[in-house]
Amino acid sequence: MQHQPWTTLSSQQVLDTPYLKIRREQTAVPNGPIIDDYYIIENFGWVGIVPFTEDGCFLLNRQYKHGIGLAVLEFPAGAIDPHEHEEPVLTAQRELMEETGYSAAPEDIEPLAHMYANPTGARTRIWWYLARNVRKTGEQKIDPVEVIENLLVTPKELLQMIHEGSFAVQGQVAAAYMAMERLGFLRTTF
């Protein structure tokens, strides 16, 4: 079966802000119609990091997020700064320090996954890293717009939070399982 790319006939920027950029495309579907108004969220991407301590705990953030209007539990994550485009691991290290005051030795940080955020409506790509042996070596950046509470939880507690729905951001849940599997806390039965 063919999965030919659609052809972009024209493109127009309909929102162009530092936080959100959206373009509208006129696009031709192979053997199908021309769609006059296909909206795509433009966004280079973001990076997340799963921090794991020497004594066996995951480090989480609790933070109010105004999009959903709730405080949510997440691993540190953030947008990629332009100078970090070639090396998303720099974003991971920066976000870990800014949001928690923790860091990890470079040799303790490994790629965990590369994912897509929303293939239908966005170009966004996501890079996840796993950081082992993280330690508090600095101070969280204090910013009233980002009031972040840090907490340490065991793998068992994290899995329970996922089952209860208190750790519930989709990409974060994916990263949590991949990290638990990589760290040997989940085994297949097949």
Return the range that interacts with a copy of itself (CB under 8 A); candidates 81-89, 91-99, 101-109, 150-158. Answer: 150-158
Q: How many residues form the binding site for a copy of itself (CB under 8 A)?
A: 76
- Beta carbon of residue 186, minimum distance to a copy of itself (angstroms, whole number): 5
Half-sphere exposure of 183 (CA within 13 A, CB side): 26
Instruction: Scan residues 53-72 and list those touching a copy of itself (CB under 8 A).
Output: 62-72
> CA 105 to CA 134: how far, in whole Å?
8
Minimal distance in Å, beta carbon 106 to a copy of itself?
A: 23
Residue span binding a copy of itself (CB under 8 A) among the ranges 82-90, 96-104, 129-137, 173-181 = 173-181
| 96-135 footprint of a copy of itself as x/- string (CB under 8 A) | -----------------xxxxxxxxxxx-xx---------
> Does the footprint of a copy of itself cover residue 153 (CB under 8 A)?
no
CB of 105 or CB of 147, closer to a copy of itself? 147
Q: Which stretch binds a copy of itself (CB under 8 A): 90-98, 101-109, 133-141, 181-189?
A: 181-189
Given the rule CB under 8 A, which of 12-20, 92-100, 101-109, 132-140 is the region that contacts a copy of itself? 12-20
**Residue pair 115/174 in contact by the 8 Å Cβ criterion:** yes
| Amino acid sitting at position 90 | L
Q: How many CB atoms lie within 10 A of CB 44?
A: 15
Measure the CA–CA gap between 133 and 2, rounded to whole angstroms: 46
116 vs 2, 81, 120, 182, CA distance in Å?
Answer: 21, 18, 10, 20
Using DSSP, state whether 31 is helix, strand or coil.
coil
Should residue 26 be labelled a site residue for a copy of itself when binding is judged by CB under 8 A?
Answer: no
The Cα 49–Cα 61 span in angstroms is: 11
Binding mask 28-57 for a copy of itself (x = CB under 8 A): -xxxxx-x-xxxxx----------------
- Which H or E run includes 41? strand 34-42
